[in-house]
């Protein structure tokens, strides 16, 4: 049981029209009534009602006039008695009210994510849904928001729970057979068993494959723009951002540092890195810049390898890039086609960072590299979270072991242990089996007040 009643500011810290302070726990109503003066006591208020009145301090000085919403257990976010105090949006007022509330015994400031943690512990949300709450709050593009929303709506949970019940069915069949072993009754046909394990493995594989897409929509894609000096890397960055972010000049070696900017293209977050042009240089600062360009290439998911119609191809640089990265990450782009539209130089896309020609095709290629041709809909379960991915991988290993035991015609006990382990690892995703460590790790990443 959670003994303490917790308090936190739920809206962003700072000045605004209103601020909302949340209070949750068994003392939520009693502690509020000590300082709230309205028509009725919060203790007597019905759930989901709103009450106007004053918050006064111990000396009965008015601090603010407020509106308080009341949520009675179990029909609240946390599942506990909760209230939300709407105050004028001034940090001083908020601080005074929070100080008053936490001056009471067994009332304290909430830890990050503690409201959501309680919601989980009180079974208001399962663990994937609780994690999705943080993702919904933090998503900055349409696609990442949709992905988080999908998870919060329970699509992943439903998929995982279905797999778990299939596994439980299988293992109880086997265990039933073990109970009757001496009577020589065969409940499970081994071929059939092996087929069913295979089909579960395939379903897990589908979920595992969705992670590549899920990770991209959740975290975005790192894109390095690299090439020799003067090919137009900074011009391309500026064109995409629609602003003059990086210095552009006809002097080779203009960009020295890595410039990072984020942009949403077709709902996906791309983190663009404009880099120093790569060439042999005597200049120490430029050399450092070039080292940073190479480092950026190593850390990128996609590489725009830019060349221009005037300087032509550099096979040497292309070879160097291949050493730093893999060929399927590279998009070879030919720039400045406004100067020579008939250039024979081969490239995946031909563009002009000056006129914008071909940029749409570049965007299409970027999206293709980022998420492939995946056709996930809003109703497909998608894995966006590394923790879930790791659990699925572990569960898959258990199933591979089970399949081997079946093939080797080992005793049912072995098979059933592996199936049970596979099921338990899936249960970890939902949070049915957890440790304090796992929970702390997850809720630590939340903001205070959520
Ligand atoms: N005509 C034409 N000129 C371009 C195009 N893109 C860039 N330029 C010109 O090419 C020159 C170099 O452009 P930058 O964007 O500074 O090139 P960069 O690759 O960033 O160069 P460094 O930072 O030195 O590595 C500038 O004079 C640009 O105006 C283009 O598509 N067409
Ligand atoms: Mg530049």
Rounded to the nearest angstrom, the distance between the alpha carbon of 234 and the centre of ligand 2 is: 4
Q: Cβ distance 152 to 129 under 8 Å? A: yes
**Residue-wise pLDDT tens digits, 195-232:** 999 999 999 999 999 998 888 888 899 999 999 999 99
The ranges assigned to domains in the chain are 5-124, 142-216+385-431, 222-371
Which CATH superfamily does the domain covering 222-371 fall into?
A: P-loop containing nucleotide triphosphate hydrolases (3.40.50.300)
* pLDDT (0 to 100) of residue 158: 95
Rounded to the nearest angstrom, the distance between the alpha carbon of 364 and the centre of ligand 1 is: 22
**Residue-wise pLDDT tens digits, 15-46:** 999 999 999 999 999 999 999 999 999 999 99
The topology under which CATH files domain 142-216+385-431 is 1.20.120
Q: Which residues have CB under 8 Å from 225's CB, separation 6+? A: 233, 236, 237, 272, 273, 274, 275, 304, 306
User: Which range is least confidently modeled, 53-67, 79-93, 364-378?
Assistant: 364-378
**Residue-wise pLDDT tens digits, 269-304:** 999 999 999 998 888 998 999 999 999 999 999 999
The reply to whether omega before 326 is within 30° of 0 (cis) is no
* pLDDT (0 to 100) of residue 29: 98
357 CB under 6 A from ligand 1? Answer: no
2, pLDDT greater than 70:
no
Q: Which residues make beta-bridge pairs with 19?
A: 87
Return d(Cα 12, Cα 372) in angstroms, integer. Answer: 37
275 CB under 6 A from ligand 1? Answer: no
* pLDDT (0 to 100) of residue 198: 96
Q: Which residue, by CA, sits nearest to atom 12 of ligand 1? A: 230
Q: Which residue, by CA, sits nearest to atom 23 of ligand 1? A: 255
**Beta strands 302-308 and 221-227: pairing type?**
parallel
User: Which of 27-31, 315-319, 440-444 has maximum average pLDDT?
Assistant: 27-31
H or E, element range at 62? strand 62-71
Q: Cβ distance 232 to 239 under 8 Å? A: no
Return d(Cα 244, Cα 367) in angstroms, integer. Answer: 24
Rounded to the nearest angstrom, the distance between the alpha carbon of 394 and the centre of ligand 1 is: 49
CATH no. for 5-124: 3.30.1360.120
Structure tokens at 56: 């006064």
Give the ligand 1 atom nearest the CA of 247: 16
434, pLDDT greater than 90:
no
358 CB under 6 A from ligand 1? Answer: no
404, pLDDT greater than 70:
yes
């Amino acid at each position: 049981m959670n003994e303490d009643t917790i308090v936190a500011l739920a809206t962003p810290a700072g000045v605004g029209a209103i601020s909302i302070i949340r209070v949750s726990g068994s003392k939520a109503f009693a502690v509020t009534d000590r300082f709230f003066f309205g028509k009725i006591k919060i203790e007597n208020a019905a759930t989901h009602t709103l009450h106007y009145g004053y918050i006064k301090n111990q000396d009965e000085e008015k601090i603010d006039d407020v509106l308080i919403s009341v949520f009675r257990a179990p029909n609240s976010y946390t599942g506990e008695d909760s209230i939300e105090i709407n105050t004028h949006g001034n940090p001083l007022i908020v601080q005074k009210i929070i100080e008053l509330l936490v001056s009471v015994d067994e009332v304290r400031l909430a830890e990050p994510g503690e409201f959501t943690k309680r919601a989980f512990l009180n079974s208001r949300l399962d663990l994937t849904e609780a994690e999705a709450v943080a993702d919904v709050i933090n998503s900055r593009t349409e696609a990442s928001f949709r992905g988080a929303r999908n998870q919060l709506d329970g699509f992943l949970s439903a998929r995982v729970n279905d797999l778990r019940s299939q596994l439980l069915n299988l293992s109880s069949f086997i265990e039933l057979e073990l109970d009757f072993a001496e009577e020589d009754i065969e409940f499970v046909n081994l071929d059939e068993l092996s087929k069913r394990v295979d089909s579960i493995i395939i379903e897990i594989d589908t979920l595992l494959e969705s992670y590549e897409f899920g990770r991209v929509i959740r975290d975005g894609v790192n894109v390095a723009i690299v090439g020799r000096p003067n090919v137009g890397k900074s011009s391309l960055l500026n064109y995409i951002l629609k602003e003059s972010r990086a210095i552009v000049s006809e002097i080779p070696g203009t960009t020295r540092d890595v410039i990072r900017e984020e942009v949403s293209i077709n709902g996906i977050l791309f983190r663009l890195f404009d880099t120093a042009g790569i060439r042999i240089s005597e200049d120490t600062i430029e050399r450092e810049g070039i080292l940073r360009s190479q480092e950026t290439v190593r850390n990128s998911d996609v590489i725009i390898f830019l060349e221009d119609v005037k300087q032509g191809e550099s096979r040497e640089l292309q070879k160097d890039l291949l050493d730093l990265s893999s060929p399927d990450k590279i998009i070879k782009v030919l720039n400045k086609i406004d100067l020579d539209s008939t250039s024979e130089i081969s490239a995946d896309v031909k563009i002009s960072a000056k006129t914008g020609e071909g940029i749409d095709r570049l965007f299409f290629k970027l999206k293709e590299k980022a998420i492939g041709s995946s056709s996930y809909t809003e109703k497909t379960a998608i894995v966006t979270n590394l923790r879930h991915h790791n659990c699925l991988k572990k569960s898959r290993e258990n199933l591979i072991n089970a399949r081997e035991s079946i093939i080797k015609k080992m005793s049912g006990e072995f098979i059933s242990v592996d199936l049970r382990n596979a099921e338990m690892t899936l249960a970890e995703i939902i949070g049915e089996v957890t440790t304090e460590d796992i929970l702390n790790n997850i809720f630590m990443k939340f903001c205070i007040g959520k």
